[in-house]
Amino acid sequence: RALVTGAGGFAGGHLMSYLEEITNWRLYGNAHMVPEVPHNTERAEWVTTDLTDRGQAAALVDRARPAYVFHLAAQSNVPLAFKDPEGTIMNNVVGQLNLLDALRESSPDARVLVVGSSEQYGLVRPEDVPIGEDTPIRPNNPYAVSKIAQDALALQYFLTYGQKIIRVRPFNHLGPGQNEHFVAAAFAQQIARIEAGKQEPIIYVGNLEAERDFTDVRDMARAYHLAITKGEPGDVYNIGSGRGYTIQWLLDTLLSMSHVAVEVKQDPARMRPSDIPTNVCDNTRFTMRTGWEPRVPLEETLRDVLEYWRKRET
């Protein structure tokens, strides 16, 4: 029996699909609301739960009685975190606290994957790249602070109560189904709208010079399964491709797949108050432990993202 929190979200939905495909586990998907087109309707049971409510979190764990818990539920949008830092920290930290306490009471032997973020490292210096798990943290947004707190809380529960908690810090992942608040989806949606005649042939962008480590979400789902089954409780693992791509490359690649001419304009509203130039991971610890490596070429990922938005906008 496996519980996936945040199962209605982008990564959670892909993880549910992957678990349905490769395991015989009884799956429980937790979300604020059941998706309109839920993944894995054949075997998964969907539960709407607010994890910030202690009683609801306990009821969810009692119902699922999981052997595995993938904790993905979080407010993960950085611009929104700047607008609502209190809500972001409440959702991410208190929600996890309630979940871990519920597991400690009724499923103490469950293996738990706590999903952090590369945002935890914050303002990395050039000499810190590629970023290892021991790189100093210098958070530069409220979302990063919330994920650091989640990470520390998970470690504390492992050390204090012996819960079998594995922590991961995934770097950027993308793919079909991601919403337009994230960079590749934002570009693809605009291109699709231009192709459909719904938007003038201008695409609005933020900082194109930033370099990021991108992984296909389907590779990330496979990584989460390997992490929870092969990871060492108490340990933390970076997950990413180990390669850097500029946002400019991302945009140019998507534009090369379009059949219309598009003008590019910078939009100050799309610039973060604090940004870092390079964010690329050292994935050695994770690959040595699990044998994982990314399989889906990023060009294929971007083509799938664009096709997803073309279908949405036609």
Cis status of the peptide bond prior to 126, with omega within 30 of 0: no
In this prediction, residues 28-35 reach a mean pLDDT of 83
Residue 134, SS3 per DSSP: coil
Instruction: Compute the distance between CA of residue 220 and CA of residue 294 in angstroms, rounded to an integer.
Output: 8
| pLDDT single digits (tens) 273-290 | 556 788 999 999 999 999
The answer to whether residue 91 scores a pLDDT higher than 70 is: yes
Distance of CA 158 to the CA centre of its chain: 22
The string of pLDDT tens digits covering residues 102-114 is 999 999 999 999 9
DSSP 8-state class, residue 78: H
| pLDDT band at residue 173 under the 50/70/90 scheme | very high
The pLDDT value given to residue 296: 98
Give yes or no for residue 37 having a pLDDT over 60: no
In the prediction, which pLDDT does 36 show?
59
The span from the CA of 36 to the CA of 279, in Å, is 34
pLDDT > 90 in the chain, percent: 86
User: What was the pLDDT predicted at 168?
Assistant: 98
Q: What pLDDT is attached to residue 181? A: 86
Q: What is the pLDDT of residues 205-249, one digit of tens each?
A: 988 998 999 999 999 999 999 999 999 999 999 999 999 999 999
How many Å from the N-terminal Cα to the C-terminal Cα in the chain? Answer: 39
> Going by C-beta distance under 8 Å and a sequence separation of 6 or more, which residues neighbour residue 228?
68, 70, 111, 112, 113, 166
pLDDT at residue 43, rounded to an integer:
79
**What is the pLDDT at residue 38?**
57
Looking at residue 33, its pLDDT comes to: 74
- For residue 6, pLDDT beyond 70: yes
pTM: 0.94
Distance between CA atoms of residues 23 and 6, nearest Å? 19
Residue 48 has pLDDT above 90, yes or no: yes
